[in-house]
Amino acid sequence: MTETVESAGTDAAVCRRLVGRTAVITGAGSGIGLAAARRLASEGARVVCGDIDETAGKAAADAVGGTFVRVDVTDPEQVEALFKAAYDTYGSVDIAFNNAGISPPEDDSILTTGLEAWKRVQDVNLTSVYLCCKAALPYMRRQGRGSIINTASFVAIMGAATSQISYTASKGGVLAMSRELGVQFAREGIRVNALCPGPVNTPLLQELFASDPERAARRLVHIPAGRFAEADEIAAAVAFLASDDSSFINATDFLVDGGIAGAYVTPL
Ligand SMILES: NC(=O)c1ccc[n+]([C@@H]2O[C@H](COP(=O)([O-])OP(=O)(O)OC[C@H]3O[C@@H](n4cnc5c(N)ncnc54)[C@H](O)[C@@H]3O)[C@@H](O)[C@H]2O)c1
């Protein structure tokens, strides 16, 4: 296929930056993970879809011609098995998109959030990223190549009066850990970046805001773009960070937030 300058980079169908690369994605069954599975596969990657939800994870893998591995990202042995399955099936582990995460309603203000809810969110959102990086790195070090993308959030760098205290703390941890790993392994050809999405237009968010327009308005007013992100827009950033187009981008907090973190006063 002939690529024109105009179409290159704008049409995912002709953007083939990941041919021959193997990508492991956690939380691939839904939302950002699913959109990333589609995007990375469309760019030529062989995709391993990890998810605790067997039905959704399998459907994602089928949709992208990839492999499904059921994994609870809080379990060290299951995480090891996920990355081993990628290597055994495709012969390399080039991209790790460590993305699975939760934001349960029990995690709220520090005044009401109990220790159990705190620990559960830390396990799924932060300890999981430690486990996934620990499992992916040995393959990448042997190859002398790899891109790790850990999903943090814009709340890792901004405070919200609508608190989800453990979630925010977990994403801050993802940010700091990614930075440190990016620095430690830079001379081995491995890049580690934290992806910081702004709020994404997911079914969960739509449902929540349909029932509470005031809550929606309270958030939307802070977004210069005047809207939430689409999952495909976050997936495009994942593909960029996964590819050699971002070869000098390492140890960053890569914001994809429509300008939220840069805003003081937003347009009417
Ligand atoms: N949606 C947003 O507005 C937004 C904004 C910033 C950051 N994020 C982050 O992006 C990531 C993905 O969010 P999303 O909105 O796509 O979520 P989602 O709920 O649509 O998808 C998360 C997926 O992770 C899976 N999962 C949950 N717990 C798991 C576990 N223990 N082991 C394996 N898989 C598990 C779920 O089954 C699901 O398929 C999360 O880390 C989230 O914190 C989301």
Q: Kindly give the distance from the C-alpha atom of residue 123 to the centroid of ligand 1, in angstroms, as a whole number.
A: 13
Indicate whether 216 pLDDT > 70. yes
> What residue ranges do the domains of the chain occupy?
3-256
For residue 4, the model assigns a pLDDT of 34
Q: Ligand 1, atom 24: nearest CA belongs to which residue? A: 27
pLDDT digits over 220-253, tens only?
999 999 999 999 999 999 999 999 999 999 999 9
Task: Please identify, by atom number, the ligand 1 atom nearest to the C-alpha of residue 100.
Answer: 24
Q: Ligand 1, atom 7: nearest CA belongs to which residue? A: 153
For residue 211, the model assigns a pLDDT of 85
Stated as kind and residue range, the H or E segment containing 23 is strand 22-26
- Ligand 1 binding residues, C-beta < 6 A: 26-27, 29-33, 51-53, 56, 71-74, 99-103, 124, 151, 153, 197, 199-200, 202
Answer yes or no: 139 catalytic. Answer: no
CATH superfamily of 3-256: NAD(P)-binding Rossmann-like Domain (3.40.50.720)
Q: Kindly give the distance from the C-alpha atom of residue 267 to the centroid of ligand 1, in angstroms, as a whole number.
A: 30
Side chain identity at 42, as an amino acid letter?
S
pLDDT digits over 49-77, tens only?
999 999 999 999 999 999 999 999 999 99
What are the DSSP calls for 34-77, one per residue? Answer: HHHHHHHHHTT-EEEEEES-HHHHHHHHHHHT-EEEE--TT-HH
The residue with greater pLDDT, 207 or 83, is 83
For residue 202, the model assigns a pLDDT of 86
Indicate whether 136 pLDDT > 70. yes
pLDDT digits over 98-123, tens only?
999 999 999 999 999 999 999 999 99
